[in-house]
């Protein structure tokens, strides 16, 4: 871990914490950070020692204040802009499709691409100081990393359009009310809360967690098939047997 690392990684007890580390730009997501997030998450997916990943931002001020607006100016033509968005979409879709849980620990601004990153995670916990919003329209653009669809699915069409069509920020209490985040906690207690949640998930068998995530959006057929596969597994047999034996004692 060095000062220049754009994404710092710390791992213990099956929990990997990835910290977007560019505080001087409020952790704005530039190409390098996106590439590092991608490679670290793909590595975590392959590493049996990682059970749960937490994504957060360095410093007390921002989770990520958006995609890097400076990089937009380097996009020479429509084609370059489209490819830029496709690239971000692919990375965030990869995050959303990981078999292991990913929790966003939102410690400050989650704006634009930063909010899209949080939306690609499975669960969102926020500091009471966090601020949320989609300011893209105020820049004459739109959320291009999959956030339009993800926000609408999570909080509904009109609530997400309200955020996107006005560009107005909302506070953590309002984000909780809308269902944009799952928990809001005192700023200083955020990581403690998130790590406790992650630890609880890390205790569960990875195959069960992966199957539950896989079922989402795939309907009852997939649910039955994956239930069938899990219920006869050694892991499930031994856990169910342990439960029954404890009851008998
Ligand atoms: N892209 C690039 N740089 C960004 C950035 C972004 N999305 N968000 C913040 N920064 C940079 C600022 O340019 C500034 O850099 P500088 O010190 O070299 O001037 C630094 O981060 C600190 O930001 P600053 O605006 O001075 O902080 P603030 O506390 O006054 O305001 C915000 C905080 C979040 C309200 C403000 O930074 C902001 O509106 N950022 C852009 C949010 C946005 O539109 N995101 C969507 C992009 S898709």
For residue 143 the two structure tokens come to 């959320």
Q: Are strands 123-127 and 102-106 parallel, antiparallel or unpaired?
A: parallel
For residue 83 the two structure tokens come to 């490819």
- Binned at pLDDT 50, 70 and 90, residue 3 comes out as low
Q: How far apart are CA 155 and CA 124, in angstroms?
A: 13
Give the tens place of pLDDT for each residue, 157-187: 999 999 999 999 999 999 999 999 999 999 9
**Ligand 1, closest atom to CA 135?**
44
Residue of 21, 22, 26 to test ligand 1 pocket, by largest number of atoms within 8 Å of CB: 26
Report whether residue 70 contacts ligand 1, using a CB cutoff of 6 Å: yes
At a CB cut-off of 8 Å and minimum separation 6, what does 70 contact?
30
From residue 124, alpha-carbon distances to 15, 70, 176, 203, 227 in Å are: 16, 27, 10, 20, 27
Give the tens place of pLDDT for each residue, 12-65: 999 999 999 999 999 999 999 999 999 999 999 999 999 999 999 999 999 999
Q: Which pTM was predicted?
A: 0.96
Let me know how many helices (H) and strands (E) the chain has, helices first.
11, 10
At a CB cut-off of 8 Å and minimum separation 6, what does 210 contact?
99, 100
Burial (CB count within 10 angstroms: exposed 0-12, middle 13-18, buried 19+), residue 14:
middle
Checking if the pLDDT of 248 tops 70, the result is no
Nearest to 65 by CA among 30, 19, 112: 112
Report whether residue 64 contacts ligand 1, using a CB cutoff of 6 Å: no
Question: What mean pLDDT comes out for the span 205-227?
Answer: 95
* Ordered domains of the chain (ranges, CATH): 7-202 (3.90.226.10), 206-248 (no CATH)
């Amino acid at each position: 871990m060095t000062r220049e690392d754009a994404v710092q990684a710390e791992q213990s007890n099956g929990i990997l914490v990835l910290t977007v580390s560019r505080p001087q730009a409020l952790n704005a997501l530039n190409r390098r950070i996106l590439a590092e997030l991608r490679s670290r998450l793909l590595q975590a997916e392959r590493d049996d020692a990682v059970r749960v990943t937490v994504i957060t931002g360095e410093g007390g001020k921002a989770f990520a204040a958006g995609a890097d607006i400076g990089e937009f100016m380097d996009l020479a033509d429509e084609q370059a802009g489209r490819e830029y968005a496709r690239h971000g979409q692919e990375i965030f879709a990869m995050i959303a499709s990981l078999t292991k849980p990913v929790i966003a620990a939102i410690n400050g601004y989650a704006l634009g691409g930063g909010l899209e990153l949080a939306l690609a995670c499975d669960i969102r916990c926020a500091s009471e100081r966090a601020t949320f919003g989609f300011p893209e329209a105020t820049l004459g653009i739109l959320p291009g990393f999959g956030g339009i669809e993800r926000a609408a699915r999570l909080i509904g069409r009109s609530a997400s359009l309200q955020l996107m069509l006005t560009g107005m920020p909302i506070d953590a209490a309002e984000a909780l009310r809308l269902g944009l985040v799952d928990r809001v906690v005192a700023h200083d207690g955020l990581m403690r809360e998130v790590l406790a949640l992650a630890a609880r998930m890390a205790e569960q068998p990875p195959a069960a967690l992966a199957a539950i995530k896989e079922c989402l959006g795939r309907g009852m057929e997939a649910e039955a098939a994956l239930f069938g596969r899990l219920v006869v597994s050694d892991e499930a047999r031994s856990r169910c047997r342990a439960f029954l034996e404890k009851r008998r004692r």
